[in-house]
């Protein structure tokens, strides 16, 4: 059985080649992360926000091609998990028929997210991810090391910002502080995402 899910969160960290999206079932509490590349993450984020580029990017071009050929993106199904890799199918409706195309989940979501395309995940995939604690982001020790680094960086940057706020001249340019605050928020978001993945990894 395929479970309807939605993109609940996207975490983009430019200092890491691995980005994270979270899918959550619409009528339940189960959710799980998928690690994707930076280009796919940026494409999802851009299309989700409706940001238009001067010229069509890859996923825009694919969407325009499907539309020009009389097709519509009907659904995205994450149907399997093989060797820790998620397998997805893109359903395209054309001339009354649905054509199923093998795709990476990140590409399928980047394509369909701007069209409100429904996303489904096979029940056995969710069970395998949550119950067998599949290692989605590489070795646990690497994630734990990054986790500890973030804790230290957040503590130091947070303390610095607090000191600066006490000494800050209201009439001065606050742009540097805003940039540091944004950096702090991005690190906190990455930390939360890593903690979510670590909860599902075997000890």
Q: Check if the beta carbon of residue 3 is closer than 8 Å to that of residue 126.
A: yes
One domain, residues 188 and 116? no
DSSP state of 200: T
| pLDDT band per the 50, 70, 90 thresholds, residue 136 | very low
Q: Do 103 and 183 have their domain in common?
A: no
pLDDT tens, residue by residue, 165-178: 766 555 555 677 77
**69-104 pLDDT per residue, tens:** 999 999 999 999 887 789 999 999 999 899 999 999
Query: Of the residues 80, 102, 131, which one is the last residue of a structural domain?
Result: 131
Q: What is the pLDDT of residue 173?
A: 56
Q: Residue 117 pLDDT more than 70? A: yes
CATH number of the structural domain spanning residue 103: 3.10.690.10
Determine contact, residues 49/101, Cβ cutoff 8 Å.
no
Residues 95 and 162 in one domain: no
State whether 76 and 23 are in the same domain: yes
The answer on 154 and 92 residing in a single domain is no
Domain that holds residue 171: 140-198
Residue 158 lies in a domain: yes
Q: What is the mean pLDDT of residues 168-195?
A: 74
* Beta-ladder partners of 70: none
d(CA 86, CA 88): 7
Phi and psi, residue 150, nearest 5°: -65, -40
For residues 81, 82, 85, 91, the Cα torsion angle rounded to the nearest 10 degrees is -60
> Are 16 and 107 part of one and the same domain?
yes
Taken as a whole, the chain contains a residue count of 203
Report the C-alpha gap between 114 and 60 in whole angstroms: 9
Residue 133 pLDDT exceeds 60 = no
Same-domain pairing of 16 and 108: yes
Q: Are 22 and 109 within one domain?
A: yes
pTM higher than 0.75, yes or no? no
- Interatomic CA distance for residues 40 and 125, integer angstroms: 21
- pLDDT bracket for residue 160 (50, 70, 90): confident
**Does residue 149 share a domain with residue 125?**
no
CA distance 71 to 73: 7
For 22, the token pair is: 């979270």
Give the model's confidence band at 137: pLDDT under 50 very low, under 70 low, under 90 confident, else very high.
Answer: very low
Band (pLDDT 50/70/90 cuts) for residue 134 is: very low
Domain total for the chain?
Answer: 2
pLDDT, residue 141, reads: 66
What is the average pLDDT across 27-34? Answer: 86
Is there a domain that residue 203 lies in?
no
User: What pLDDT is attached to residue 106?
Assistant: 92
Same domain, 45 and 117: yes
């Amino acid at each position: 059985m395929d479970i309807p899910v939605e993109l609940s969160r996207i975490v983009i960290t430019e200092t890491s080649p691995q980005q994270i999206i979270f899918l959550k079932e619409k009528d339940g509490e189960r959710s799980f992360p998928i690690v994707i590349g930076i280009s796919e993450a940026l494409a999802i984020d851009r299309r989700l926000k409706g940001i238009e580029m001067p010229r069509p990017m890859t996923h825009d071009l694919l969407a325009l091609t499907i539309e020009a050929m009389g097709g519509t993106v009907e659904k995205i199904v994450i149907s399997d998990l093989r060797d820790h890799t998620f397998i997805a199918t893109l359903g395209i409706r054309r001339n009354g028929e649905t054509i199923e195309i093998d795709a990476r989940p990140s590409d399928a979501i980047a394509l369909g997210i701007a069209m409100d395309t429904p996303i489904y995940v096979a029940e056995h995939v969710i069970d395998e991810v949550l119950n067998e604690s599949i290692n989605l982001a590489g070795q646990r020790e690497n994630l734990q090391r990054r986790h500890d680094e973030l804790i230290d960086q957040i503590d130091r940057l947070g303390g610095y910002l607090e000191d600066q706020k006490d000494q800050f001249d209201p009439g001065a340019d606050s742009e540097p502080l805003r940039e540091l605050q944004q950096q702090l928020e991005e690190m906190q978001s990455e930390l939360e995402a890593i903690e979510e993945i670590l909860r599902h990894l075997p000890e």
